[in-house]
Structure 1
Amino acid sequence: MKKFLNIIAALLLISTSGSIAQQTSGKATTPAKIVGIAKDANTGEPVGYATAALYTPGSDTNVAGAVADGDGKFFITGMEPGSYELRISFLGFETKTISGIQVLSKTGDVNIGEIEMSDEGLALEEVTVQGQRDLIEERVDRTIYKAENDRTTAGGDGTDVMRRVPMLSVDLDGNVSMRGSSNITVLIDGRPSAIAASSITDALKQIPAEEIKEVEVITSPSAKYDAEGTSGVINIITKKNNLQGMSANIRTGVGLRGSDLGLNASARKGKFGFTLGGHGRSGYNINGSFANQQIVTNPDNSISTIQQSADTKSNQLFGRYNFGVDYEVNKYNFLTAAVNFGIRNRSSNQENFLSQNYLDGELVRTALRETDTKDNSNSVDVSLNYTKTFEEKGKEISLLTLYSRNNGENSFVNTLFEEDMSTIDSRLKNDNPSKNEEFTVQLDLIEPLGKDGQSILEYGAKNILRKAYSDFAYFQADGADGAYVENPNPNFSNAFSYDQNVTAGYVSYTATLFKNYTIKPGIRYEYTTINADFKTETTSADIPSYGTFVPSLNLSRKLANGNMIKASYNRRISRPSLRFLNPNIDSSNPLQVSQGNPELDPEFTDNYELGYSTFFKNTMVSFSGFFRNTTGSIQSIRTVAEDGVIYTGFDNIGQENAVGTNIFTNISVNNKISLNASVDAYYAMLDNGLTDPTYAASNEGFVISGRLFGNYSLQNDWQIQAFTFARGRQVQLQGSSGGFYMYGMGINKQFDEKRGTIGFGADNFLTKEFKMKNEINTATIVQNSTNIMRNMNFKINFSYRIGKLSVDQNKRKKRSVTNDDLKSGSEGGGAEMQQNK
């Protein structure tokens, strides 16, 4: 496990490391060096990439520092003769302090020898750690946000965590995008989960913030990853332990708009380990409203205007429950198995839903309705994985399996009132049960090559078998008591099955050149077969099979003072998920109807990226630039019927280009105050490729967002944290989505030797409601809408741990299936095919 940590924490951003200097005097004499080796006190293995920082004794004045190499060796230069204090730190270890370091002259070496570092788990209750660990870690192909160190999310869910992650943007509805693209892949612990079957938005709301350890933003996936995800991959790593003994933790929170209750327990004895847990979260008092105006130019040049408004209210209940077991057969063979269950129930209502139709400025029709929508689902994931290691360091074979299933039930009822606005005239009902199944088998092999295994060859194969089923029907009833009668039209009542098989093979090679250069080329081939069918013979879908080569290339170079520059290219494929394929007609708003297209093709994207990270004083700054080109882009097409109803469908038309940058900084003011901030900016260029002026559309413009996070550690285990996020107007093909902002603050205290934590948090406490204004502009349609969300929240959080765990030195890395080959829209709602890595 320590070796695994060594690899993933290369160039760890340590805020207390200060200035990392590697200076030479320019003379023939060798400058003074402090030399040492960081080692694990329990295993004797090197602690690679540990940070060594030199301080003036009894102060926080940093003099010099260095990052150890993969063998734990470090060399510190650039200090004047004198007495110093040395601090060695690394993720998962206690900070080691060595006093009385004497540098007697400007030349010669001071050899500290081997420095033994103890695992943090050995002193969970005895050690008080001053200062704050970093929240951000940079790696060659990803950025890691360490959510466990962010207390402001206590009592929240995965959506609250995502709003704090660099390069991600989350709107008021919880829709996630990366660098302006919602086509991303979300994984949980490196593998897909059926709780993400309906939408990323709903999946994140099922995961409590306290369960999230880290969030990996993988902007340049290698060939080992499935080819899905225009923008990249988000991997949510939940908290797990590999410790001996027994422990249980209970946590609860009560707030103005939501409450939660969770219990987790774990036990480990010898070669067996068990985990059992569950968490439930309810949401209530989620109120808002919307207003919408659409202006349509009719073929006879008359102007139809429709104005709509409604009050909204929603309630929700989420749950996630899991059981896992792992068994160490012997030194080289390891088995893991897990079962995860999830539920998601949501009901929403639109009351006083008033529609007014005008023709050339004259009111011609008024309608009042109520809409009740339900979106319920349950899911299960079952996995069984086998890993074999060898005496040769780094060599590994793994066989991974996963079965996932999600059952969904989506329905709505539209109740239309007569002119007296109180008597029910008619009711329209839509039922859309769905089922998504997925079975995956994956074989991965890792082969170290060359002297000391400096090069790594990775290769493997994978097969994903998916089955999606959507049964949809419309029913009409007269009055309040009339019986529902099914619509016999197959466009409104039918069943759609979609079977997809993806077979893939890949090879990836990693090599270090000239000490400071790393190159990682790879190639992946995926062959997809699809069988789509309807229950009735009047409709059909014929989709041919296709094969795809997906190349990738990652390059990096280590510079002086711990700096790094990196460049990458990769090609991605995005297969449409059921949100885009589902032929069920959604007319919950009868004036804005949408329907999926079962015959959609995948879209392809070429990504180019260049990044640079640097350290100075107590500050780290990271820059990255990117260019993204998408062809065959899946875009929405809007048409207007004679009655003024806007119909929205999907097709493979157009092209999307985006060029942008991300700037992130992490600042440690002192050992009690730390700040981090980031700015994301990109220029979007969208074109649907049509020539008919009635339907042709293009748009372009800048999109800018930013975030700021601050932490202040007080005495007696008190801590204060604050966070704010803002996003400007977002460019869309036929208009724009309005900007918004949000903020939060939390204070918490640990007690009973850090077994318990109690805290208080407030979100948007100075803002009664948020307004988001959206617009659509085409040759025939002008639509302006305003959504209002009342998001002020106050919450009290409590957690307590019983039992005590000690470190298991036989920890092994667990491997699991990762699928990531479906395009999923950013919008919540109807059932979708599995979103995977």
Structure 2
Amino acid sequence: MKFKTLCCAIAAIFITTFSYAQGPDKQITVTGKVIDADTSEPLEFATLVLQNADDPNIVTGGITDQNGDFRVEAPAGRYNVRVEFISYRPFTLNNQNITEDKNLGTVELAIDVAQLDAVEVVGEKTTVEVRLDKKVYNLGKDLTTSGATVTDALNNVPSVTVDVEGAISLRGNENVRILINGKPSAMAGFGSTDALKQLPADAIEKVEVITSPSARYDAEGTAGILNIVLKKEKTLGFNGSVSLTTGYPSTSRISANLNLRTEKFNIFTTLGHFYREPPGKANFDNRYFGGSTFDRVTEEREMIRKDNGFNVNLGMEYFLTDRSSITASVFTRLSDEQDKTKNSTTRYIDTDIDSRTLREELEKQDDKSYQVSLNYTNHFNDEGHKLTADLQYSNDDETNNTNVFENQFFPNEAYIDREKVFETDVEDEYLIQADYVLPMGDAQFEAGYRGDFEHTKNDYELSRYNPETDEFTIDYGLTNVFDYEENVNAVYTQYGNKFGKFSFLLGLRLENTQLKGKVTSDLTNEQLMDTLGFEFDPDFDKNYLELFPTINLTYELGENENVSLGYNRRINRPRGWFINPFPSRSSRTNIFQGNPDLNPAFADAFDLGYLKRWDDLTLTSSVYYQRETESFDRVQRETGQQTSDGINIISTIPINLSTNQRYGGEIGLMYGGIDWLQLNGSFNLFKSKTDGEYEGVDYGAENTSWFSRLSAKVDLPARVDWQTNAFYMGPRENSQTKSDGMLSIDMALSKDIMGDNATISMNVSDLLNSRKRNSYTESYDEFGDLSFTSDSEFQWRERQFTVSFVYRFNQPKNERAQNRQNNNMDDEQGGGFQG
């Protein structure tokens, strides 16, 4: 209450100051709405400026709310009226004699043609909008992601990186929250990002990079939030598009996006089928120093994955009144995966080969996901008074059948091991959310509630083959059921206002988190700890009640220049696979285990940004600092156990490794001063420092790393477009592992055909086949002696060639020829809501 009272008092002082700057004359009210001229979307935080025509030093104004509405009070008089928004042409009305309340109606702002090229990020109509709490990248026609997936497209967004396994990072930090259209979604995966690899890249309309999230967002994700906003057609009538993609190594996709929009309702659907066989490989060179039968063990791993799937999204938005609507949608994703992994192992004593074995793993996975959503929106008036409510249920059901064979083939043939794994993983998630927005003159007050309730049940059964009886028997030591619940209840409030060139947004969020889990096994607790190699609570129930304040400030140094400052507190909750203590089975000697004793990590983050635009060049930059307590880290250690043939087993386990500090800076440059060439590049330098120890071993470490990307798009003769994207990830290290730098280059050619109603494109992903992770790990025991080393290389997907064809019907044709003459690369692809 003190926080709210203070904000209201400050607002009252400033409003009073501006209202009576000209004396106690008659007061008038100027209202209206600001929208994007192309998309008709409301523009939040657009500025209305009222400048006294007789005395230009007297200025008042306000900002628009989420609906683009503004309401400004001022003394009656003659004014120069100006409505402006970053990267848009301003709207002006000079010498307006305003003696009564005035409604300016709907003000349409168009992208500034003279500045559009200067804010190019990737491809056509890819602009960056800087708002109080985020940067919005409106993704246009990025040629290198034609026929690709959402994951590929994210790798071209500044500040974002995607590693060789598909893990997404923001400013080098993997603790990032992924949202779809502002909410957690089955389309973003359940605790992983695998589902994003199945969604087409051209489904994206824009990506919001939220490094300083306001209080309206979930506090999850210490690095920040990536909100992926999918396309939704606004053109009346029936329209859509069909896309076909094929490539090598074997990949194919077909999708259809259909949309029917009338004045009363909007029906949208997306159908998609995909098939791919991306090969991958890895190798490990492990050396042991005491206590092992072998001095060196090498592994060469080949992965052949077949993924056959289908997804559909069907929804309808119905307009109840002119001010209210209800939207219902159903999303389903079916996937049938067959993975074959060959792991060839060579064992050494000193430098001599002792034996060689081959381990084959055949995994069949049946994955079914669906989600039903219901949204209600009511605009009480034109001033932005609004209520929204959301209900959502998601379900993911995975079934895995795995057969593992391992045999020795040198110096002689011999049986080693044979296993069968049957695993089911079911996750249910319920979301309840309500948000209320109340304009308060020039200011805006918001409040809301959000409940997110997740339950995961993993049923794991391991059977081993007995060659003497020629039968499989259940291994009760590793067979288990793991139940995990994550329940979050949150309320928030925030207040924003603008005084002249200064804007602020203050918020406070209260969240209660319950993490509850139980391991069910035939073993006693003592036997369970001994089998898994560490102690933990097999039946835990943890509660955390925390406050999460947010502050976002912006000051306009000039018309095309501003600075911003943000502070926010965040939480990183461990996901289910980080909690489950039972080991993976992809290797007998290198395993991953979860840790049920993991606690959430908390972070305080500060961000100072600067934006400057010239005619042909745009500069974005920021410096940032984050301090995270109870931060997660993965440590590798010898378990003290050996395989049946005498190899020491090494496990990787996540732990709360005390404190992590991260600070760095990033800079982005976007140039469009040449008609036929667009360039943009970014550079991010960061340093992290970790303090902490585990089982008597100090895992403190310092790491300085960087990544950079450069994109160039060239207009060739015959209306052919050529784009090249280059990305380099600098070397990095943590407490145990050093990883080499990594270079990746993508290239594409594209041409519009059939009267600009269709586009054909060809692209190659990872042109140099260099997207590989090379790492070196050293592990020490509690006495400080070197225990083992591991030298590894991992490549999740090899170089990919694809050809894509997209046909659009009943959609506005590309105005590319005319836009080239105007330097306004505005490619309208449209398309229904895609999932």
Cα separation, 2, equivalents of 1:649 and 1:408:
24
Q: Deviations over 1:382-417 (max 9, x none)?
A: 111111111241110111111011112245332111
Relative distance call for 1:511 and 1:29 in structure 2 (3 A) is: closer
**Once the 2 structures are TM-superposed, how far is the Cα of residue 519 of structure 1 from its aligned partner?**
1.1
The answer as to 2:258 corresponding to 1:265 is: yes
Cα separation, 2, equivalents of 1:29 and 1:543:
66
Q: Does the 8 Å CA contact 2:580/2:594 hold for their aligned counterparts?
A: yes
| Residue in structure 2 matched with residue 649 of structure 1 by the alignment | 653
Q: Does the 8 Å CA contact 1:2/1:47 hold for their aligned counterparts?
A: no
Cα separation, 2, equivalents of 1:498 and 1:147:
37
AA matched with 1:776:
T
| Residue in structure 1 matched with residue 97 of structure 2 by the alignment | none
Moved over 6 A (4+): 28-31, 43-47, 94-97
Q: Deviations over 1:485-527 (max 9, x none)?
A: 21122xx1111112232111111111112x1111111111111
Within-5 A mapping of 1:589-608: 589-608=587-606
The answer as to 2:183 corresponding to 1:183 is: no
Within-5 A mapping of 1:159-174: 159-174=151-166
| Residue in structure 2 matched with residue 774 of structure 1 by the alignment | 775
Q: Does the 8 Å CA contact 1:684/1:702 hold for their aligned counterparts?
A: yes
Q: Does the 8 Å CA contact 1:697/1:778 hold for their aligned counterparts?
A: no
| Residue in structure 2 matched with residue 737 of structure 1 by the alignment | 739
Relative distance call for 1:495 and 1:230 in structure 2 (3 A) is: same
5+ unaligned residues in a row in structure 2: which ranges? 1-33, 48-53, 58-68, 72-80, 95-106, 115-122, 526-537, 643-647, 781-786, 814-832
Relative distance call for 1:269 and 1:187 in structure 2 (3 A) is: same
What is the DSSP-based 3-state SS (H/G/I as helix, E as strand, rest coil) of the residue aligned with 1:149?
A: coil
| Residue in structure 1 matched with residue 28 of structure 2 by the alignment | none
| Residue in structure 1 matched with residue 727 of structure 2 by the alignment | 725
The answer as to 2:271 corresponding to 1:275 is: no
| Residue in structure 2 matched with residue 546 of structure 1 by the alignment | 544
Cα separation, 1, equivalents of 2:467 and 2:581:
28
AA matched with 1:687:
D
**Once the 2 structures are TM-superposed, how far is the Cα of residue 50 of structure 1 from its aligned partner?**
5.5
Relative distance call for 1:406 and 1:201 in structure 2 (3 A) is: same
Cα separation, 2, equivalents of 1:482 and 1:158:
47
Cα separation, 1, equivalents of 2:336 and 2:150:
17
Within-5 A mapping of 1:343-492: 343-351=334-342, 353-361=343-351, 363-419=353-409, 425-450=416-441, 454-478=442-466, 482-489=470-477, 492=478
The answer as to 2:510 corresponding to 1:525 is: yes
What is the DSSP-based 3-state SS (H/G/I as helix, E as strand, rest coil) of the residue aligned with 1:190?
A: coil
| Residue in structure 1 matched with residue 19 of structure 2 by the alignment | none
Cα separation, 1, equivalents of 2:630 and 2:769:
42
Relative distance call for 1:530 and 1:772 in structure 2 (3 A) is: closer
Normalising by structure 1, we get a TM-score of: 0.79
AA matched with 2:800:
N
Cα separation, 2, equivalents of 1:222 and 1:795:
40
Relative distance call for 1:95 and 1:220 in structure 2 (3 A) is: closer
Q: Deviations over 1:568-608 (max 9, x none)?
A: 11110111111201233213200012221223211111111
**Once the 2 structures are TM-superposed, how far is the Cα of residue 192 of structure 1 from its aligned partner?**
1.4
What is the DSSP-based 3-state SS (H/G/I as helix, E as strand, rest coil) of the residue aligned with 2:221?
A: coil
Q: Does the 8 Å CA contact 2:308/2:337 hold for their aligned counterparts?
A: yes
What is the DSSP-based 3-state SS (H/G/I as helix, E as strand, rest coil) of the residue aligned with 2:195?
A: helix
Cα separation, 2, equivalents of 1:10 and 1:720:
35
Q: Percent identity between the aligned chains? A: 24
Deviates more, 1:728-737 or 1:573-582: 728-737
**Once the 2 structures are TM-superposed, how far is the Cα of residue 458 of structure 1 from its aligned partner?**
0.6
AA matched with 2:611:
S
5+ unaligned residues in a row in structure 1: which ranges? 12-27, 32-42, 53-65, 76-89, 98-130, 807-815, 817-837
Within-5 A mapping of 1:280-295: 280-284=273-277, 286-295=278-287
The answer as to 2:817 corresponding to 1:801 is: no
Q: Does the 8 Å CA contact 2:355/2:408 hold for their aligned counterparts?
A: no
Cα separation, 2, equivalents of 1:536 and 1:51:
59
Q: Does the 8 Å CA contact 1:472/1:584 hold for their aligned counterparts?
A: no
Within-5 A mapping of 1:571-720: 571-640=569-638, 641-643=640-642, 644-690=648-694, 692=696, 695-714=697-716, 717-720=719-722
Relative distance call for 1:789 and 1:187 in structure 2 (3 A) is: closer
**Once the 2 structures are TM-superposed, how far is the Cα of residue 181 of structure 1 from its aligned partner?**
0.8
Cα separation, 2, equivalents of 1:480 and 1:732:
46
Cα separation, 1, equivalents of 2:294 and 2:563:
57
**Once the 2 structures are TM-superposed, how far is the Cα of residue 544 of structure 1 from its aligned partner?**
2.7
AA matched with 2:552:
N
**Once the 2 structures are TM-superposed, how far is the Cα of residue 427 of structure 1 from its aligned partner?**
1.1
| Residue in structure 2 matched with residue 827 of structure 1 by the alignment | none
What is the DSSP-based 3-state SS (H/G/I as helix, E as strand, rest coil) of the residue aligned with 1:588?
A: coil
Q: Deviations over 1:34-62 (max 9, x none)?
A: xxxxxxxxx9999953679xxxxxxxxxx
| Residue in structure 2 matched with residue 125 of structure 1 by the alignment | none
Q: Does the 8 Å CA contact 2:125/2:140 hold for their aligned counterparts?
A: no
Cα separation, 2, equivalents of 1:200 and 1:797:
27
Q: Does the 8 Å CA contact 2:571/2:602 hold for their aligned counterparts?
A: yes
**Once the 2 structures are TM-superposed, how far is the Cα of residue 557 of structure 1 from its aligned partner?**
0.6
Relative distance call for 1:51 and 1:518 in structure 2 (3 A) is: closer
What is the DSSP-based 3-state SS (H/G/I as helix, E as strand, rest coil) of the residue aligned with 1:203?
A: helix
Cα separation, 2, equivalents of 1:381 and 1:92:
36
**Once the 2 structures are TM-superposed, how far is the Cα of residue 148 of structure 1 from its aligned partner?**
2.6
What is the DSSP-based 3-state SS (H/G/I as helix, E as strand, rest coil) of the residue aligned with 2:320?
A: strand
| Residue in structure 2 matched with residue 512 of structure 1 by the alignment | 498
| Residue in structure 2 matched with residue 78 of structure 1 by the alignment | none
Relative distance call for 1:287 and 1:556 in structure 2 (3 A) is: same
Match of 1:749 among 740, 748, 751: 751
Deviates more, 1:473-482 or 1:731-740: 473-482
Normalising by structure 2, we get a TM-score of: 0.79
Q: Deviations over 1:157-207 (max 9, x none)?
A: 112211110001112222211111111111112221123334543122111
What is the DSSP-based 3-state SS (H/G/I as helix, E as strand, rest coil) of the residue aligned with 1:679?
A: strand
Cα separation, 2, equivalents of 1:615 and 1:268:
38
Q: Does the 8 Å CA contact 2:637/2:779 hold for their aligned counterparts?
A: no
Within-5 A mapping of 1:150-229: 150-229=142-221
Relative distance call for 1:177 and 1:10 in structure 2 (3 A) is: farther
Q: Deviations over 1:346-382 (max 9, x none)?
A: 333222x222333455555543221223444221111
AA matched with 1:357:
R
AA matched with 1:787:
F
Deviates more, 1:742-751 or 1:340-349: 340-349
Q: Does the 8 Å CA contact 2:254/2:273 hold for their aligned counterparts?
A: yes
Q: Deviations over 1:254-298 (max 9, x none)?
A: 1112221111111012311101111222222x3343221122333
Q: Does the 8 Å CA contact 1:135/1:149 hold for their aligned counterparts?
A: no
Relative distance call for 1:314 and 1:617 in structure 2 (3 A) is: same
| Residue in structure 2 matched with residue 84 of structure 1 by the alignment | none
Q: Deviations over 1:457-483 (max 9, x none)?
A: 110112222211111111111469943
What is the DSSP-based 3-state SS (H/G/I as helix, E as strand, rest coil) of the residue aligned with 1:579?
A: helix
Q: Does the 8 Å CA contact 2:203/2:231 hold for their aligned counterparts?
A: yes
AA matched with 2:481:
A
Cα separation, 2, equivalents of 1:524 and 1:609:
19
Cα separation, 1, equivalents of 2:176 and 2:691:
21
What is the DSSP-based 3-state SS (H/G/I as helix, E as strand, rest coil) of the residue aligned with 2:381?
A: coil
**Once the 2 structures are TM-superposed, how far is the Cα of residue 656 of structure 1 from its aligned partner?**
1.5
What is the DSSP-based 3-state SS (H/G/I as helix, E as strand, rest coil) of the residue aligned with 1:391?
A: coil
What is the DSSP-based 3-state SS (H/G/I as helix, E as strand, rest coil) of the residue aligned with 1:669?
A: strand
**Once the 2 structures are TM-superposed, how far is the Cα of residue 155 of structure 1 from its aligned partner?**
0.8
| Residue in structure 2 matched with residue 809 of structure 1 by the alignment | none
Aligned length: 705
Cα separation, 2, equivalents of 1:770 and 1:169:
13
Relative distance call for 1:652 and 1:509 in structure 2 (3 A) is: same
